[in-house]
Amino acid sequence: MKILQKIVFALAVFSLVFSCEDLDETQTIKLAHGLDVNHSVHKAMVKMGEDLIEISGGKMALEIYPSQQLGTERECIELLQIGSLDMTKVSVGVMENFAPRMKVFGLPYLFKDKQHAFSILDGPTGQELLDEGTQYWVKGLCYYDAGSRSFYTKDKPIYTPKDLKGLKIRVMESVTAMDMVKSLGGSATPISWGELYTSLQQGVVDGAENNPPSFYLSRHYEVCKYYSLDEHTVLPDVLIIGTHIWKKLSDQEKKWLQEAVNNSVTYQRKLWAEAEKEAIEEVKKAGVTIIRPDKEAFSNNVNTVYDSYKEDKDMLDLISRIKNNN
């Protein structure tokens, strides 16, 4: 009887040890971002996590922290750099501080249309730029659709660039974004996304610029009643991973992760198109005046932004490749 008990005990220990080893084999990747859980990017990340578990047979998983739980976009990048966070989503406008050539995406009226933008982002040029941040310990994995950015204001509607004169417009921590607003006559004011609602309420800024879903989900329409769809820039979101974790992944794990990421891109773009339509409809219902200005009046006023790159051969080449869709 004692021998039987010992055998049963040994089998139990053996089973427990191997069970723990199986658990240890699961590579859990910590992902944080600043968006609301109803945002298409968050929903795409949830799908990415589900796909990753399925594709890897349970050997890889995502742990997602939305809504700035772990900090602002810049703070999340810094956490990536020191290895305290594995993945995050940032606007390419913030990313340009860590991958300088990505500032090209902040140039106003760079793309002809959405399909032109997708062909660049999904092509060799876009992929080349995803690797730009490795020297700063971050690597891009994909671009999520963030639509076109337009101006929204509290008290003064924007019909022409002249209407921006004297207005304090919130921008991201991006030199290109600041230059763009200045070229149109506005006063660029960098403020973190999480502080913007209060800043608008208190009059720290007179307006901001962003895409329709962000305008809607942030509830900025409660303060700003004019939305001018000048669509000055197409700034995608970038999903990035810390090089500390990327280098630790095996080739097979990298393949599993990239497959899940790619699936999430297709899913997110579909959700985004639906979200843009819904956002415009909902802010209209809330009393926001939608303005569709003459875009040419705006595009004719941003030449100074491009002129600043006249002596930068690398940037001129990059701009040419994008405009010519190479």
Could you tell me the pLDDT band of residue 97, with boundaries at 50, 70 and 90? confident
* pLDDT given for residue 24 in this prediction: 54
DSSP class per residue in 32-101: E-SS-TTSHHHHHHHHHHHHHHHHHTTSEEEEEE-TTTT--HHHHHHHHHTTS-SEEEEEHHHHTTTSGG
* pLDDT given for residue 259 in this prediction: 98
**Selected residue with higher pLDDT from 1 and 258:** 258
Integer CA distances (angstroms), 140 to 18, 29, 136, 171, 241, in order: 35, 15, 11, 23, 6
**Crossing angle for the helix pair 40-56 and 251-285, nearest 10 degrees?**
150
Domain(s) labelled CATH 3.40.190.170 in the chain stretch across 24-96+106-144+236-278, 149-234+287-323
Report residue 98 CA to chain centroid gap.
Answer: 14
* pLDDT given for residue 98 in this prediction: 85
203 vs 189: CA distance, rounded Å: 12
**Selected residue with higher pLDDT from 172 and 29:** 29
Does the pTM surpass 0.85? The reply is no
Could you tell me the pLDDT band of residue 36, with boundaries at 50, 70 and 90? confident
CATH number of 24-96+106-144+236-278: 3.40.190.170
* pLDDT given for residue 194 in this prediction: 86
**Average pLDDT of the segment spanning 81-106:** 91
Burial of 130 (0-12, 13-18, 19+ CB in 10 A): buried
**Average pLDDT of the segment spanning 8-17:** 40
Give the domain 149-234+287-323 fold. D-Maltodextrin-Binding Protein; domain 2 (3.40.190)
Calculate the average pLDDT of the chain: 91
